[in-house]
Structure 1
Amino acid sequence: MPTENISSSNAEGGDVSALFPELTRDDVLSCAFSAWYSKLRHVTFKSVVIKPLDSYFIEYLGSDGIVLPGDDEAPKFGNRLEDDDGSDWSDYDENDSDEKPKMTVNIDAVAAEIRQAISDLGGKVFPRMNWSAPTDASWMSCDKTLQCRNLSEVLTLLKSSDKITEDIDGSSFISRDEMGEWEHELVLRQWCNLFPSMEFRCFVREHELVAISQIEMQHYEFLDSMKDDIDSKITELFEGHVREAIDPENYCFDVYITQESGRTYVMDVKPWSAKVDSCLYLWQEILELKEGEALGLRLFPSSIDGMRHYSNKYAANQFPKDIACEGLQTSIVEFIQKMAIQQANEDGAQSD
């Protein structure tokens, strides 16, 4: 569900971080999952929030290596192990029993809550913490999703993710010193098979929706005819629910629109930060908007082959994402800007 962060460079290659207003601790805490979930429960996916997390569990997540509870099922991640009698997770040489990795802390209490939440949510969940999901650990899954069906799968993804490490440390968006103390939370979301084509990122500046972008770096022809409807549905969601639920005046939120019913769901809320992917916009475009201006909805253009440059959503797990994505993002934005100027000139010529 959630997407990756990318570099904060603008089209000229400079750093746009200085253009952002100072991000405060309260801004970051207001975008933590539990801060907005209760207010938007009726327009988002069913979830279970486990908090407070005891210090032993946080210590376990921060420890080196992946040691799983010995009494739990091995990670399956889809059908990876269902037809396999052996696995790297559970098979040990009987003569090496003394060398098996062992749990050094007791996480039984949290483990029980995780198992119960998985059961309550239908047997399949998507894990995350306060601000981040372990999208950088998707390589652990054979189908590159974060679908989990048991405790071991949840723990494996959490412990394999650098994003979760930053989340636990509190340094995802501001420094650890600025964050001070806060309450860690583990979130298990009901698993849904979402179409990436219907995911959109929305940018709210001074409590106004100023831009909407398709998230997936690929052209979908059917979206072109839906553009006005998508814009209308997201604006209605923002005006009717999101605006009053989120405290900061500047933030981003992600939306999913179901293809059959057209219902809109809030997927995530993110702080107004250069660390957040601006998708088909450059942050500079958004930050330099004047009062009352808006950029509307931007879709991936058909004239650019995104798949040649950006092979998949989690390409950052295989090589530096700024190499794969930043150049593509800039070329897309420049292309869209040139097409807008050309269209304006043509419209002007016709009116003359």
Structure 2
Amino acid sequence: MKREEVDMCQIQEWYPKFKSSSFKTQILQLPETFVDYLIDDTGPFVLPALVVDEDALPNRVRNPADEDDFEVSEGSEDDESERFPPPAFPDLEMKVRESIESLGGAVFPKLNWSSPKDAAWISPNGSLRCTSFSEIALLLHSSDSLTHDLCHAYDSCSDKTASRPENFFLALRKWQAALRPEMEFRCFVRTRRLVGISQREVTTFYPVLLERKDELRELMEEFFDGRVKEAFPSENYAFDVYVTKEGWVKIIDFNTWGASTLPLLFSWEELEAEEREAVEMRVVDSRCGVRPGLKTAVPYDYVDTAPGSGWDQFMRKADEELRRQKGESAGA
């Protein structure tokens, strides 16, 4: 894989070409001082000082080495603030506030390639929904998955000359509260041909996908031929889409071919095999066909693993099914 192919999948590169077929997004270039803040792990984590603090979270100090991140003894917060004064990014803060307002008051943040999906647990609402600069800074700084973007973006490139791009961007995407996970799909393109489509949320069986499989495949084939095939410059790649209840196809993201992109219900060997005569679409076709995989889950890559959540119920049912099968085997 070449660096050029990786760069093509940055949101600030593809979104301007496909904005009419995607979710509304504001893209801001990040100052290098903020990038340094995100990757700095030499001291405790301190939220940025705000120009306007009406939306501020209680200032938190976090030492990554501590098991109990936010248990701070009484009176110590002031001491920590004096030793580690919070940085300020007033220009970026104001641009973020304006963008959030223009996008309806709530956004989903991501950097050039990745979202802070692994840090959702730390946000006040337990998701990637953000309504303030403080919430965004907290998610970005707390995410380990963003380390790839920040420090290892080109590790898989045969022509690697740098570890990161020259500039980083913050993409603020309008929060979509009513997205249905069963309508998210990953499309695989090889030599500019659509060769496969996979259900993206592979941890759940959705009967509606079996009923609408042919219809949905045709929608995505038509969308690829009419909107993506000639517009996206790479030959080999994957792209994620969402199909609305009205039948419109919306682009969520573009991904590199192979590397860290999950093939979901395919394998890369299958996708790279001989030319296919028709586009193959795979969905989970029974409750026994679900696959565990937290990184493949619901819209915008957020999974709720709390007690009573869908994932928790799935794991409980899986354990019950496993015990039942063992019981049947023992009695045979």
- TM-score range with shorter-chain normalisation? 0.7 to 0.9
Report SS of the residue matched to 1:273. Answer: coil
CA–CA distance in structure 2, aligned partners of residues 189 and 226 of structure 1: 28
Whether the aligned pair in 2 keeps the contact of 1:74 and 1:89 (CA below 8 Å) is no
Report how far residue 305 of structure 1 moved.
Answer: 5.5
Q: Tell me the matched-pair count.
A: 283
Report SS of the residue matched to 1:122. Answer: coil
Q: Deviations over 1:170-192 (max 9, x none)?
A: 43653663556432111100000
CA–CA distance in structure 1, aligned partners of residues 305 and 255 of structure 2: 21
1:57 alignment partner, one of 9, 23, 34 = 34
- What's 1:208 paired with? 193
Q: Deviations over 1:255-286 (max 9, x none)?
A: 00112x12110000001123111011111110
Closer/same/farther in 2, CA of residues 45 and 154 from structure 1, 3 Å limit: same
Report how far residue 248 of structure 1 moved.
Answer: 0.8
Closer/same/farther in 2, CA of residues 91 and 179 from structure 1, 3 Å limit: closer
CA–CA distance in structure 2, aligned partners of residues 30 and 248 of structure 1: 7
CA–CA distance in structure 2, aligned partners of residues 254 and 287 of structure 1: 19
- What's 2:121 paired with? 139
- What's 1:220 paired with? 206
TM-score by length of 1: 0.72
- What's 2:322 paired with? none
- What's 2:99 paired with? 117
1:152 alignment partner, one of 122, 130, 134 = 134
- What's 2:282 paired with? 298
Whether the aligned pair in 1 keeps the contact of 2:154 and 2:162 (CA below 8 Å) is no
TM-score by length of 2: 0.76
Whether the aligned pair in 1 keeps the contact of 2:6 and 2:256 (CA below 8 Å) is yes
- What's 1:36 paired with? 14
Letter in 2 for 1:226: R
Whether the aligned pair in 1 keeps the contact of 2:116 and 2:140 (CA below 8 Å) is yes
Whether the aligned pair in 2 keeps the contact of 1:25 and 1:179 (CA below 8 Å) is no
CA–CA distance in structure 1, aligned partners of residues 211 and 9 of structure 2: 33
1:171 alignment partner, one of 127, 148, 153 = 153
CA–CA distance in structure 2, aligned partners of residues 96 and 57 of structure 1: 23
Letter in 1 for 2:282: R
Report how far residue 104 of structure 1 moved.
Answer: 5.2
CA–CA distance in structure 1, aligned partners of residues 26 and 303 of structure 2: 29
Q: Deviations over 1:29-49 (max 9, x none)?
A: 111101110110100000011
* Cα RMSD after superposing both structures: 3.0
Q: Gaps (5+ residues) in structure 2?
A: 59-68, 307-317, 319-332
Pair 1:186-2:186 in alignment: no
Pair 1:46-2:24 in alignment: yes
Whether the aligned pair in 1 keeps the contact of 2:153 and 2:164 (CA below 8 Å) is no
1:242 alignment partner, one of 228, 236, 239 = 228
Closer/same/farther in 2, CA of residues 311 and 186 from structure 1, 3 Å limit: closer
Report SS of the residue matched to 1:245. Answer: coil
- What's 1:230 paired with? 216
Q: Which residues of 2 match residues 18-29 of structure 1 at below 5 A?
A: 23-29=1-7
Q: Gaps (5+ residues) in structure 1?
A: 1-22, 77-87, 319-327, 329-352
Letter in 2 for 1:248: S
Report how far residue 105 of structure 1 moved.
Answer: 3.9
Whether the aligned pair in 2 keeps the contact of 1:254 and 1:267 (CA below 8 Å) is yes
Closer/same/farther in 2, CA of residues 222 and 75 from structure 1, 3 Å limit: farther
Closer/same/farther in 2, CA of residues 209 and 59 from structure 1, 3 Å limit: same
Q: Deviations over 1:151-208 (max 9, x none)?
A: 1111111011112122022436536635564321111000002111110000000000
Letter in 2 for 1:254: D
User: Which is further off, 233-242 or 174-183?
Assistant: 174-183
Whether the aligned pair in 2 keeps the contact of 1:128 and 1:188 (CA below 8 Å) is yes
Closer/same/farther in 2, CA of residues 250 and 104 from structure 1, 3 Å limit: same
- What's 1:252 paired with? 238
CA–CA distance in structure 1, aligned partners of residues 256 and 49 of structure 2: 38
Structure having greater relative contact order (Cα 8 Å, sep ≥ 6)? 1
Closer/same/farther in 2, CA of residues 103 and 45 from structure 1, 3 Å limit: farther
Report how far residue 317 of structure 1 moved.
Answer: 9.3
Report SS of the residue matched to 1:219. Answer: coil
